[in-house]
Amino acid sequence: MMRAAATAIQFLTRLPVPGGAATAEDFSREIRRALLLFPLVGAGIGALTALALALADLVLPFALAVILALVIEARLTGALHEDALADLCDGLGGGRTPEDVLRILKDSRIGAFGALGLGFGVALRAGGLMAMPDPAQAMIVLVVSGALGRLLMLVVMAAVPPVPGRDGLGASVAPSASWKGVGLAALLAAPALLLGAFADARAMAVALALGGAFLLWYRALLRRRLGGSTGDAIGAAGYVGIVLATLAFAMER
């Protein structure tokens, strides 16, 4: 499990991993167990972002502290989910057929749809955090949303098979996901999820409901527009899950 934890950290962050980065062979061997730790690692990312927010709030107005904390998080994760969200928005916005969408997803350049999608996503998340009644609540939401976002990634992996015949990280990782794994991952991340329920049970229920509704819509969208899931589609789902959880707590303040 220590190797699996290192693989999960290597996948989701830019933090140095003890012993160095896993080789391709090690990665493929450990990724199934590493997936179980994604929500827990997501909660850890949220906790580090919350720490950055707490420190920034000591010297900056709360709104600026939120923005600085999100900047630090993007550096911590290598903007993994933000990049995926921008790519997916470009593909869905600019492609008419599944082939067009997949072709655009391979293009590393960002277009108008990607810029708008990413900008709106970050703005919604920042605005939701700024709407919290106090910094402590925002810190809790960062931890909870970090776990829920990565849990939604696993749910999408289990619910939507990869695009047939497509190479890439999504195609190599997604087949390792299963509904049993989703349940185990939720169990391992239970402390973070219970923290959200303790802080605001109604908001936590709303966050779960929004995540379920999004999954039903997203599953149909990916099958219709792409023919399955891709790495970008999975990564974008993680960011959407973070945003939805944040907005759920903002609505219940």
Write out the E strands in 154-226.
Answer: none
pLDDT of residue 57: 97
pLDDT of residue 12: 94
Q: What average pLDDT is seen over the chain?
A: 92
In whole angstroms, give the CA distance from residue 139 to residue 53.
Answer: 7
| Location of structure tokens 């106090």 | 134
- Torsion angle in degrees (nearest 10) through CA of 184, 190, 192, 193: 100
**DSSP state, 174?**
G
For residue 137, CA distances in Å to 40, 56, 76, 121, 250 come to 19, 15, 22, 20, 10
Tens-place pLDDT, residues 23-79: 666 666 778 889 999 999 999 999 999 999 999 999 999 999 999 999 999 999 999
Q: 91: which residues sit within 8 A by CB, 6+ positions away?
A: 100, 101, 102, 104, 105, 226, 232
Look at the pTM and tell me if it is higher than 0.75: yes
Nearest C-alpha neighbor of 159 from the set 189, 181, 179: 179
pLDDT of residue 233: 95
pLDDT of residue 92: 96
pLDDT of residue 194: 96
State yes or no: pLDDT of 21 exceeds 70. no
pLDDT of residue 25: 66
State yes or no: pLDDT of 240 exceeds 90. yes
